[in-house]
Structures are given as structure tokens and as C-alpha cells.
Structure 1
């Protein structure tokens, strides 16, 4: 096989939730920069398509239909990845779901499914990969938090709890593992243009609330989140550990904002003279 070049040449990473959305974009970004990839998801067809496209880039790839709530299966996949790829240099546990309901009517399964996948599943992945990274004394993990871990969000008691918990997990692993050569960070996206967003958020809420309050005025593209993750995995971020990088178009930079943050500025700070949105 011809030697590959790029920022991650000679390295290998494990990605869960890799068949679409952020996980797919991360897998493609890493492979395009020279990495080999172990990709897991429950979408078998999506994994097959991803495998073919990454192999076309010259990457060695192993894929597995995996439910990250299964700790034993996750451990086995990590072992298979090391055997097949010869090494692991990090992980990006992207598998996650969202289920919306008012707290007072949310049933047990809706609550527990989100916590089990978004938090427990991430822990199982980090624990299994962390064992490999700690043994070799080097590596990096990036988890997928959310701007929802900055405050509450109506209808998402389960999702908010999972992402607040994930930030705590990320920082704890960073403290435990940093001095042993393993960095652990997170990205915290705003809305990302993925099927989860398009299928799960009413268009009126997306336009009139989320985008209206985002200074950049648009959703992120998965590739933009993947680029931030690649930076945190890279040697350029060698002194970044325990950070939660907000990749949110400026949403959390302010509060009480409207019209992409230009409400008061546009009217000379006089609410009586507020212009209508063009």
C-alpha cells in the first residue's frame, strides 16, 4: 500500500455514530488527512457506503454494526479495531439521539434511552479506547457536547441532562488521564444541518428561535464541526485538555439577542425605534 500523507498519516481513530451527520463528517475528514478509521453505527447500509468512500481515499477501514449501550460489544469492537488497524490513537464517540417531550409527560423509556446512548454509551466507548491509549501513554478523545449543556431547554430534560453529564465526564477524564498522556476535550455545537435537526425540530422554531438568535444566522455544516474536532485531535492542540469548544455561530456569546444579534445595535439601543426584520 502506498504511504499516505496528511496531518493524521499513520494514525487510526475510532468513530461511533459514523454513518451520518457529524460522525460521518469526522470519519471523512480524518481519512482525507491520512488516518485509518474504525467506524461503528446501527445503520448497516450507511456504514457500507462510508467504508467504500473511505477506502477510495486510501484509508484502511473496519466497520461494525454496534449499539454503544452494549459495553461488551464496544470492548470487542475496540479490540478488533486495534487488531485490524494495528493501533488506535483516539476516539470520537458521536453516537447520540434526541427525544422531545414535556418533563411532566416524558415516559421512562424516552428519558432512559437518551441518557443511555448519549452518556452511558459515550462512557463505555471512552473507557474501552482509554484503556488502549493509557497503555501506550498517548492519544486524544473528543466528545460531542452541545450548547444545551449551557442551560436548560424546554422539552429536552433528557437531552440536557445527558449533555451536562457528558461535559462532567469529559472534564473528569481529562483530569484523570491528562498526566498519563491522554487528552480529552469536547465540542459544543449549536444546530448542525443533520437529519436529527431537520427531522426533530419544527421549521418555525428553527427559523424564529435558533437561527434568529445565532449571529452567523445559519446552521453549522457537519464538516465545520468535524474540522474543529480534527483540530482538537491534532498535535496543534497538544496543550488543550478538558476544554469544551463552543462551535455555535456565536449563539452563546450573548443573551437576550434577536435578529442575529443586531436588534439593539440596529436601532441605536432604542427599542421604540426597532426596525422590522427586512
Structure 2
């Protein structure tokens, strides 16, 4: 049976790095990105290099239900879903608070919903969260947690805004809340997928040297302080994140489920233990 992998945000940055790591683990690798040209360039590079997987670009906004249905149909037509590295997302300087929630949390839930019927024994998902959820020290009430756990409800944005308050409109706060929601979602999805032998986890990167990370660092002096506080004394590399993702999606991690893996060079340990 043909095995299929998906890497979202695969046109650049950590999504591209994940795609490159997965290219020798499945038979067909779908490179999902809004940037069709970027995904196509990565696919061509992978195919020219002669990896095991046939890389195929797939233009998609992860908030597009119809597009996600097409993605699921394509996977089902190709073979068995084996691995999903969901790196697509946006950060505080890229959009307003609503769009951050829509892409980072709602988009994750929409992708999972579309792919859930394809899950089988050995299928594994990794959803990208962020260390910001830990640094923000988010500890919601049961009422707010219940709202976060239902991101596909039509009035989700209005409910989370009313529950958290107007401060959520600050993108620097909306982002960690959305990523905290991703961490919670991974735990819930692990419970849903477990009975068929499939797994779901989240991964929280620290400050990673990507175009998106550089954009955030240029806009926020606090990012430089986090780099300076990192015990390893540097930013992370996309390849370092992709290596952890590849392990999480592999058979070697077959009992890893419903957990968030923090890959931050030790900065949370340094900052939170002060």
C-alpha cells in the first residue's frame, strides 16, 4: 500500500524543513502551502534529488474547508495516510487577532477534522504550537477551557473574546492563547484517534531562525531578550525542529501520544525558573 505524508507550510521555513525530513519516509509527500510557487519549487527540488517520496505541491489555505476536503480526497486516492507535519501558521506581526486564531487554532482543527476519517494504525500527526503558550503562563478557567476546546463552533471568536476580554485583541496575547489551544487540541485529538491506532501530538518551537522568526524579532525587542536568555546562546534552526518532528512521526515514537514537546534551547527553563 502506498504511504502518504503531508507537510503544511512546506514552501519555506520549518514546514519546508519538515518536508525535506519526511521525503524518505513515505511514498508520496503532499507539500501544502498557500504559496503555490514556493511549494512547487520545494517539490521540484525534492524530486530532482531522487528521494523515496514523490513530492507533490498542493495549494491550500488551511482555513478553506472545501480545499481541505480536496486534500483529504487526494490522500485517500493515493493510499494510506502515514504522517502529518502541520507547520502552517501565522505569528503576531502577520495579521489581526481574529486571523491568528482562525489560522493557528481553527485551521488546525479543520485540518484534523478533514483527515480524521483517513486515520488508521500507524497514522501520526504533529501540530505546531509555540513556547509562547508556556511563557504567557496561560491557565484558563474551566469555562474558558471549554470554549478553547470547541474551535469549530461558528461563534468561537466571539465567545473567546467575551471570555478572555478585550485584551485578546492584542496579537501578542492572541498568539499564545491560540497556540495554547493547539496544545489542548492535540491532547483531545489523541483521545479521538487512539482507538484506531493513530496518534497526535503538538510541538512547541522556541525562537527559530526562519523568515517569520526574523520578522517577529525585528518588531519585538523582547525576542532579542529571549535569545539572550537561551542557555544555548543562539536561535534554533529549522532542521533541528524537523528532526524532532520526524522522530515524533516515526514508528520509533509509536507510544508518544497526546503530549506537547518543547524544543526551545532551554529558554523556558531559564525564564520561568527565575
TM-score band, normalised by shorter chain:
0.7 to 0.9
> What CA deviation, in whole Å up to 9, does each residue of 1:69-111 have, x standing for no partner?
111211111211332x32321211111001349xxxxxxx711
Residue matched to 1:89: 82
1:210 to 2:226 alignment = yes
Residue matched to 1:60: 54
Q: Residue 62 of structure 1 contacts residue 81 of structure 1 at CA under 8 Å; is this kept in 2?
A: no
Offset at residue 10 of structure 1 (A): 5.9
Residue matched to 1:127: 113
Residue among 11, 17, 28 paired with 2:20? 28
Offset at residue 60 of structure 1 (A): 1.2
> 2-side partners of 1:22 and 1:129: how far apart?
21
Structure 1: gaps (5+ residues) = 1-8, 102-108, 259-278
Deviates more, 1:120-129 or 1:110-119: 120-129
Q: Residue 71 of structure 1 contacts residue 121 of structure 1 at CA under 8 Å; is this kept in 2?
A: no
> 1-side partners of 2:217 and 2:73: how far apart?
37
Larger radius of gyration between Structure 1 and Structure 2:
1
1:152 to 2:136 alignment = yes
Offset at residue 206 of structure 1 (A): 6.2
Q: Residue 7 of structure 2 contacts residue 85 of structure 2 at CA under 8 Å; is this kept in 1?
A: yes
Residue matched to 1:263: none
TM-score by length of 2: 0.81
Map residues 168-187 of structure 1 onto 2, 5 A cutoff.
168-187=184-203
Offset at residue 199 of structure 1 (A): 1.6
1:198 to 2:214 alignment = yes
Offset at residue 34 of structure 1 (A): 5.2
Runs of 4+ in 1 over 4 A off after TM superposition: none
Residue matched to 1:4: none
Q: Residue 26 of structure 2 contacts residue 82 of structure 2 at CA under 8 Å; is this kept in 1?
A: no
Residue matched to 1:13: 5
Offset at residue 155 of structure 1 (A): 5.3
TM-score by length of 1: 0.79
> 2-side partners of 1:161 and 1:207: how far apart?
18
Match of 2:109, SS state, is: helix
Q: Residue 127 of structure 2 contacts residue 202 of structure 2 at CA under 8 Å; is this kept in 1?
A: yes
> What CA deviation, in whole Å up to 9, does each residue of 1:130-175 have, x standing for no partner?
2101xx3431000101101113298511211110110110011112
Deviates more, 1:145-154 or 1:181-190: 145-154
Which structure is higher in RCO with an 8 Å CA cutoff and minimum separation 6?
2
1:46 to 2:38 alignment = yes
> 1-side partners of 2:121 and 2:25: how far apart?
23
Q: Residue 213 of structure 1 contacts residue 257 of structure 1 at CA under 8 Å; is this kept in 2?
A: no
Deviates more, 1:201-210 or 1:68-77: 201-210
- The number of equivalent residue pairs is 240
Residue among 157, 166, 180 paired with 2:182? 166
> 2-side partners of 1:187 and 1:76: how far apart?
26
